[in-house]
Chain A
Amino acid sequence: MADDKKPKKGGILQVFKDIVYGMSSHEMTRHAVRTRASMEHLFILITMGDLLGIPILPPYYSLRLLPYVVPQISSWKRRMLREKDITDALG
Chain B
Amino acid sequence: MSLKEVFESQPERRYIMFGGKGGLGKTTLSATCAFWLASHGKRVLLFSVDPQASLSDIFQRDIFGKGPVPIMENLWAEEVDADRRIREYQDEIRKKILDMYGFDRVPEEIDNYISAASAEPAMEESAIFDAVVDIIVQGDYDYYIYDMVPLGHALYYLSMAKVYDEWINKITKLRQEMGHYDQVAATMRRQETVEEDKILEELQYIKNRINASSQILTDKRRTAFFFVLVPEEMIILDTRKAAELFSRFDVPISGYVVNRVLPPELRQDNIPQYLKNRIAMQEKYLGEIQTTLGSQVLAYVPEMERDITGLPMIEKLAERLFQ
Binding site for B on A (CB under 8 A): 25-26, 28-29, 32-33, 35-36, 39-40, 42-43, 46-48, 50-51, 55, 57-71, 73-74
Contact = CB atoms under 8 A, between A and B. Distances in A.
Given A58-B126, A68-B198, A50 B110 contact: no
Contact of A70 (B110, B123, B127, B160): B110
Contacts of A63: 89-90, 93, 114, 117
A46 to B, nearest CB: 6
B199 A42 contact: no
B72 interface: no
A4 to B, nearest CB: 19
B185 A32 contact: yes
Given A33-B185, A46-B174, A60-B123, 5 more contacts: A35-B181, A43-B171, A43-B175, A58-B164, A66-B97
Nearest to A62: B117
Contacts of A57: 122, 126, 163-164, 167
Nearest to B207: A61
A44 to B, nearest CB: 10
27 contacts: A25-B187, A25-B188, A32-B181, A32-B184, A32-B185, A43-B171, A46-B171, A46-B174, A51-B109, A55-B120, A55-B122, A57-B163, A58-B122, A58-B160, A59-B117, A59-B126, A61-B168, A63-B90, A63-B117, A65-B199, A65-B202, A66-B110, A68-B195, A68-B202, A69-B199, A73-B109, A74-B109
Given A50-B113, A58-B129, A70 B107 contact: yes
Contacts of A74: 109
Main secondary structure of the interface of A (DSSP, over half): helix
Given A29-B184, A51-B113, A64 B122 contact: no
Contacts of B240: none
A42 B174 CA distance: 9
Contacts of B93: 63-64, 66-67
A46 B172 CA distance: 11
B219 interface: no
Contacts of A47: 171
A57 B164 CA distance: 8
Contacts, number: 106
Given A32-B184, A51-B113, A55-B120, A61 B206 contact: yes
Given A66-B113, A67-B97, A40 B184 contact: no
The 3 A-B pairs with the shortest beta carbon distances in the complex, nearest first, are A60-B126, A58-B126, A36-B181
A32 to B, nearest CB: 4
Interface in B111-139: 113-114, 116-117, 120, 122-123, 125-127, 129-130
Contacts of B117: 50, 59, 62-63
B316 interface: no
Contacts of A55: 120, 122
Contacts of B116: 50
B114 A66 contact: yes
Nearest to A43: B174
Contact of A73 (B110, B123, B175): B110
A33 B109 CA distance: 27
B199 A68 contact: yes
Q: Which of B116, B164, B171, B206 neighbours the largest number of chain A CB atoms within 10 Å of its CB?
A: B171
Contact of A64 (B109, B171, B174, B202): B202
B178 A67 contact: no
A39 B174 contact: yes
A55 B177 CA distance: 24
Nearest to A26: B188
Contact of A60 (B101, B113, B130, B195): B130
Contact of A29 (B97, B120, B163, B185): B185
Given A50-B120, A59-B120, A61-B126, A70 B167 contact: no
